[in-house]
Chains A and B, each alone.
Chain A
Amino acid sequence: MKQRLLAIIGLFTLVNVYAGDWRGYVEFEGSAFFENPAFAEQSNSDLSIAAQPEYLQEWNNGNDIFTFTPFYRIDQRDNNRTHGDLRELSWIHAADDWELLAGVGKVFWGVTEAVHLVDIVNQTDLVESLDGEEKLGQPMIDLSLIRDWGVVDLFVLPWFRERTFPSEDGRPRFAIPIDTHDPIYESSAEQHHVDFAARWSNSIGEWDIGLSYFYGTSREPRFVILPSAIDPVDGTVSEATPLYEIINQISIDLQAIYGSWLWKLEAYNRGGQGDRFAAAAGGFEYTFVGVHESAIDVGVIAEYLYDGRDDEIGSIVVTPGTPFSTSPFQNDLVLGTRLTFNDMQSTELLAVAIIDLEGNGQTFSLEASRRIGNDWVLALEGNAFSHISDDTSLASFKKDSNIRLMMTRYF
């Protein structure tokens, strides 16, 4: 613990010494839970500190860029959340009609607010945030061909990153702890399986379109209960093992902009995890600009979420060796609002409710942030779980309504 702290302080000092080529942040975080935990190992509060410096070097008139972005977090409660990652270690070269990224990088695909269905290149760093927006660095070669008719990206992904999961002390976490040490791979090459992806994207008038194909190890695992995880005496299950299968997936992401209306759609069709299935998310965001003669913009968000999987834990009887998934949003409605204050402190607020249309409950999330002085940002996050039934994978989080306060120093 002490060594880790020293490492972070060391990084921070380094950053200050070489200011100019360095940027990044140090974040202090505190979480509090409103109810006593569902599992004995969990606590009602958590403290954490994280740092993410970034080193940049540009040459050749900005056509070559070297980026180095390490990340480290220390968590008071959850050993799995105390973790480091190489977010980026990449070289980008830009030519007239092509670009190449080689190294560890991050790529984002998608348009919708509540879920990120088509965003598949990088693995989710789930211990960072349940919303799936934090990602692990992915080793890749990305060749980007820039043409009049759009941009074609060809990816070779030579190393697989396993998803991070909270430990037994983590909160929220799944009811059955996840075995993060010994996952099962469909491919005998395991993490060495070389994955491929291709994407075409273009902006045509008011439309932004992306069509993508992925072949390789699914970033999103299914899970199995191994016979060895079942107590022979009382039948309790000690852990679930991630199952990383080889999938093929085609996807589309689409956004149209008409005045204050943004129309969004993301959808994919995936084979390789049991029966072939599809998932989709679509909806709109409408923005009222400058309400009541003020500078405040108010956005209204509505999305519908569909997922064709029928192997979600909670909805099926789990037997040893039968894979199951943890995909809660099969038929859900998203309603949200975004307030942008447009003030000197860049105050923002986003509130989102996800309502299960089959009566399995609602989840609410709140994100608010405001700059303090020039270099600090104060952020508040809240998550609430309401009327969650036992027929969904969210049942594990029933008692985990929480607020999280973050003070981040940017440099």
Chain B
Amino acid sequence: MPPVAILPAILLCLLAVGAQAETAEEKGLAIAMEADRRDSGFIDYSNRVEMILRNKQGQESTRLIRSKTLEVEGDGDKSLTIFDEPNDVKGTALLSFTHKVGPDDQWLYLPALKRVKRISSDNKSGPFMGSEFAYEDISSQEVEKYTYKFLRDDTYDGMEVFVFERYPVDKKSGYTRQVVWLDKEHYKERKVEFYDRKDTLLKTLLLTDYHQYLDRFWRAHQMDMENHQTGKSTRLIQSNFQYQTGLSDRDFDTNSLKRAR
């Protein structure tokens, strides 16, 4: 056969080999990258978040925050979070620049002292506002922050899902691994299990009530985090999503942090 005619056949063979040789790690990464691709291009959004903290005895306490997020080309998102409740932290604000690689930058504004305080992001494993959500659970999820391993195809709650594991790259993470149930239709997380540093099941997150914005971006309006070791749980309810309102870097600097009310 002439060499030119043989080329497609060789390519086909190579592709077949390639497909077979895709490791569980590569497949896990490919899924995470596809989920990231589908979620990029939102430019900016703002929303309201209500958190209902519940302890083992069933006592409840509420947190209210407002948040703005700006997508940054080639790096992690910028976000500004303003606390509305409880009343004693009203007006406190957190500015954070997440990075794909390396520690995030965080500044906290304390309204009583009018003080902007640069704070360490090493507390990523710590609770956010006393809730069952750690800082690392609610900060922007970048592909580079984990390594991956595909486990299996499955069904969950009537949906076709991928089940894969991800392993935090940062040694300061509170987790050894997370198991993610991601639906195949929209590539959105439906359930996440968090394993602590001793590889014991610590928490389960259920994401429900997904709504679509700009005909493209799916957002869970309800997130339920249950801590299996303490019996405490937190329900996080997101609302008032507003996309592409024209936010700029200027809305995410220390001057705007001081103006947060």
Interface residues of A (CB under 8 A from B): 23, 25, 56, 58, 62, 65, 92, 94, 96-97, 99, 106-108, 110, 133, 144, 146, 151, 201, 203, 208, 255, 257, 259-262, 287, 289-290, 293, 295, 297, 342-346, 371, 374-375, 377, 408, 410-411
Contact = CB atoms under 8 A, between A and B. Distances in A.
Nearest to A94: B259
B172 A371 contact: no
B28 interface: no
B125 A344 contact: no
B255 A144 contact: yes
Contact of B88 (A56, A92, A262, A371): A371
Interface stretch (B115-123, B143-151, B158-166, B177-185): B115-123
Contacts of B55: 344
Contact of B125 (A110, A290, A346): A290
Given A144-B255, A146-B250, A346 B89 contact: yes
A23 B87 contact: yes
B114 A106 contact: yes
B85, B89, B250, B259 interface centre (most CB from chain A within 10 Å): B259
B91 A23 contact: yes
Nearest to A260: B122
B53 interface: yes
Given A344-B53, A374-B62, A410-B88, A287 B120 contact: yes
A344 B118 contact: no
A151 B255 contact: yes
Contacts of A375: 86-88
B45 to A, nearest CB: 16
Given A65-B261, A289-B125, A344-B55, A146 B253 contact: yes
B89, B90, B261 interface centre (most CB from chain A within 10 Å): B261
B225 to A, nearest CB: 14
A244 to B, nearest CB: 24
A374 B126 contact: no
Interface of B: 53, 55, 61-62, 85-91, 103, 105, 113-116, 118-120, 122-123, 125-127, 129-130, 172, 174, 196-197, 250, 253-256, 259, 261
Contacts of A411: 87
A80 to B, nearest CB: 22
Contacts, number: 100
A259 B85 CA distance: 30
Contacts of A65: 259, 261
A144 to B, nearest CB: 6
A108 B103 contact: no
Given A255-B118, A410-B87, A411-B87, A94 B125 contact: no
B154 to A, nearest CB: 32
A106 B114 CA distance: 7
A261 B122 CA distance: 9
User: Which 5 residue pairs are nearest across A and B when measured between Cβ atoms?
Assistant: A410-B87, A344-B130, A410-B88, A108-B115, A260-B122
A107 to B, nearest CB: 6
Given A297-B123, A374-B86, A343 B254 contact: no
Given A144-B255, A342-B130, 15 more contacts: A65-B259, A99-B255, A108-B113, A108-B114, A110-B115, A133-B113, A151-B255, A203-B105, A257-B119, A257-B120, A289-B122, A295-B127, A346-B89, A410-B87, A410-B88
